[in-house]
Amino acid sequence: MGGCSSQSCHRCFFEYETERMIVVKSKVVGSVFRLIQFLILFYVIGYVCVVQKSYQETDSVISSVTTKVKGTGFTNTSDLGARVWDVADYNIPPQGESSFFVLTNMIVTPNQTQSTCPEVRIQTGLCMNYSETVKTCQVLSWCPLEIDINLPEHALLVAAEDFTVLIKNSVTYPKFNFHKRNILPDVNSSYLKQCEFNRKTDPDCPIFRLKDMVSEAEEDFQTMAIRGGVLGIMIDWNCDLDWPEHYCGPKYSFRRLDNKIPENNVAPGYNFRFAKYYKTTDGRETRTLIKAYGIRFDVIVFGTAGKFNMVPTIVNVGAALTFLSLVSSVKWSHLQNTHYL
């Protein structure tokens, strides 16, 4: 239709235009048209609605984690003698932010005092007799110095594989005012005293055996315990809140997080140093230095919750109708280009 002149703008304001409708009796054009419609509907219903659940409003999880390790072990070494290890000895530090450490191996340097002594490494300068054949530089330090190259070939605290950890995890989805714990409402204290996590028999038990977690990460506990490492405990709280609350629960998985690639084996494993201080009878300060090797367990909580909301539903239905309307435009352009009209 023609345009409006300046003199007749008031007429155009009250006019309404429609497009011409045409029916094309062609199996090719009709089949292509229906196929495109089907693909758009399949994408909107199958992927957007079912897979992506785009009809839902979503919220990210807020989480808090506390852990409690239990177990005892026994060692008998020349440096420490025969001794029993409990949680106060091997769980260092006793509390961490969503993580905990279990000592499995160590290098002990006992009876260190503040004095002068020969350096371990051979250097030039003021020399002292390090041995009968070797002289090294004199240093002012805690003596004798640590020799950290004689790491035991087998983990000292072999019993650590049977230690257990209780993981208490609380999550919140504030947008939906939803709160839940990984210790489910039907779990009581008597069950917690005897249960141990098992995917088939006890999937709701929050108590985990250390060896089982390392094994699920496809690692050998005793091998990992020699030089230590970092293991991730992943807790997945992805929830569809359109379903009843009991369908929303934690899903656990485990994987090693530190680098163990043989080609990049500089400073492998996980270790740190700490000391135990005491005084001799003559009042002299003395310490035992321990280079601790072990496994650090990081608890990583993630998840998203979704719930039906009219706004995203309308937006996605509108997008679907827009896609369908484009089919007619594409079909009309195709007809004109192929001279069907």
Residue ranges for the known binding site for ATP are 68-70, 164, 271-273, 291
Judging by beta carbons within 10 Å of its beta carbon (0-12, 13-18, 19+), is residue 256 exposed, middle or buried? middle
Binding-site members are 68-70, 164, 271-273, 291
Could you give the CA distance from residue 125 to residue 321 in angstroms, rounded to a whole number? 84
- 103 forms beta bridges with 294
Could you give the CA distance from residue 195 to residue 204 in angstroms, rounded to a whole number? 9
Q: How many CA atoms lie within 13 A of 76 on its CB side?
A: 1
CA distance to 1, 318, 332, 339, per residue, from 19 (Å): 11, 21, 11, 19
**DSSP per-residue string spanning 101-146:** EEEEEEEEEEEEEEEEEE-SS--SSSEEESSSS-EEEEEEEEESPP
**For residues 90 and 161, is the Cβ–Cβ distance under 8 A?**
no
Dihedral angle, C-alpha 190, 191, 194, 196, nearest 10 °: -150
SS3 14: coil
Could you give the CA distance from residue 228 to residue 102 in angstroms, rounded to a whole number? 9
